Amino acid sequence: MPIRNIAVGRPEEATQPDALKAALAEFISTLIFVFAGSGSGMAFNKLTDNGATTPAGLVAASIAHGLGLFVAVSVGANISGGHVNPAVTFGAFVGGNISLLRGILYWIAQLLGSTVACLLLKFATSDMTVPAFGLSSGVGVWNAVVFEIVMTFGLVYTVYATAIDPKKGDLGVIAPLAIGFIVGANILAGGAFDGASMNPAVSFGPALVSWSWDNHWIYWLGPLIGGGLAGLIYEFAFINQTVGRPEEATQPDALKAALAEFISTLIFVFAGSGSGMAFNKLTDNGATTPAGLVATSIAHGLGLFVAVSVGANISGGHVNPAVTFGAFVGGNISLLRGILYWIAQLLGSTVACLLLTFATSDMVYATAIDSKKGDLGVIAPLAIGFIVGANILAGGAFDGASMNPAVSFGPALISWSWDNHWIYWLGPLFGGGLAGLIYDK
């Protein structure tokens, strides 16, 4: 159990040079991230009338936060681990990967980094208001808490899968990119509802500098629950290995792979479907406009990149019944395991949509298999995410561009809308099976 690995740490640890260097790295990384993220919102407010709350402002905030976090994690990775977030630090502590004392040191550094970034922004912009996080109209506090729990769970789960897991291998190279992408995708999904913090430090600096504390507790409670859950689940289910009899070896492995498919699909559908719901909230049916189509494409591309990345070393990162079917037809997965994956993927999509339904107060919303892939496998999640994003731009205006029965199934089940639903099974399974046959033969 992960709880056995939790350590308080010795008092002298807080004054050791490596701990102080790590804290300094967290301070600088968080400063870089918050300055870019909060600054992008202030820039839109200057260029437009409250432009940060428009669809264009939401896309810009997503890009700025994604790029900023990619850099912040990259520059801190080899010194502190590049947490840049008290929720990530808490998740690492719960999983037994950092001591309590060092975690507290990181928290102090992260909160200071956020505060200094906001003070610098206030000075550099001639006393412009640094916007604090808050709830949009019609969004209740518990709706926002659910948003923050789910989004932060996805973020910290990504950190574990790509940066903490000892089995990560070459996947560690793209960890900062995956972490930045999940934040960008989640902002597109949740930004229109509660600002999509996922990070108590990101919320704390603006709240302190603007002295605006309304519902601030949400941005601590949600991320800490989500981060803690991710740390517990990943550490217990995927890192801590249990030894059983040889004949049992395939059963736990298959169940872990199915759990990975469930979580990956949940992350992907929550980001993708949530982005469309966000645009419908910001505009009148805005998800069907050109800007909405681009934003949905970005959210799906980023979300799938992350979903494939976090599942790659456990289940292969299928995240799609059509991909699983193609792998089966090509002889790369057994029928029984394929069925297990399908069940997990459909459940993941359904749970994501149920969470979105609750979090939005019942709003209505309608390169990795080839053994010869070599180093190309490192960019497999990126390539897979990009082709989905590109295809949504090409086909989204015509039929929604599903390409994934699980993505279609969850919304259809929760909204009970089955018109022409068979299309989103027949087409993807035919295409996926054909691809598996052609490539493998």
The residue with greater pLDDT, 208 or 3, is 208
Q: Report the chain's C-alpha Rg in angstroms.
A: 21
- Model's pTM, two decimal places? 0.77
pLDDT digits (tens, 9 = 90+) for 28-38: 999 999 999 89
- Domain C-terminal end among 178, 211, 237: 237
pLDDT band at 245 (very low <50, low <70, confident <90, very high): very low
For the chain, counts of helices (H) and of strands (E): 15, 0
pLDDT digits (tens, 9 = 90+) for 42-87: 888 888 876 656 777 778 888 888 888 888 888 888 899 889 999 9
Look at residue 366 and tell me whether its pLDDT is greater than 90.
no
**Number of folded domains that form the chain:** 2
Look at residue 330 and tell me whether its pLDDT is greater than 80.
no
Token code pair at residue 133: 């996080």
CATH of the domain at 109: 1.20.1080.10
Based on the domain organization, do 304 and 267 belong to the same domain? yes
The residue with greater pLDDT, 414 or 146, is 146
C-beta separation of 31 from 116 below 8 A: yes
Residue 242 lies in a domain: no
Mean pLDDT taken over the chain? 80
Q: What angle do CA 317, 62, 275 make, to 5 degrees?
A: 65
Residue 217 lies in a domain: yes
C-beta separation of 328 from 335 below 8 A: yes
CA distance 65 to 420: 38
- Domain C-terminal end among 237, 263, 294: 237
pLDDT digits (tens, 9 = 90+) for 117-164: 999 999 998 888 888 888 888 888 999 999 999 988 888 888 888 888
- Residue 112's identity, in one-letter code, is L
The structure tokens 């859950």 sit at 229
Q: Which residues contact 120 (CB under 8 A, 6 or more apart)?
A: 31, 35
Q: What is the pLDDT of residue 375?
A: 59
Residue range(s) defining the domain that contains residue 152: 1-163+195-237
Look at residue 106 and tell me whether its pLDDT is greater than 70.
yes
pLDDT digits (tens, 9 = 90+) for 341-364: 989 988 988 888 888 877 775 544
Residue 329, phi then psi, degrees to nearest 5: -60, -35
Residue 181 lies in a domain: no
pLDDT band at 102 (very low <50, low <70, confident <90, very high): very high
C-beta separation of 30 from 87 below 8 A: no
Residue 183 lies in a domain: no
End-to-end C-alpha distance for the chain, whole angstroms: 44
Residue 58 lies in a domain: yes
Based on the domain organization, do 156 and 297 belong to the same domain? no
Token code pair at residue 223: 């991320």
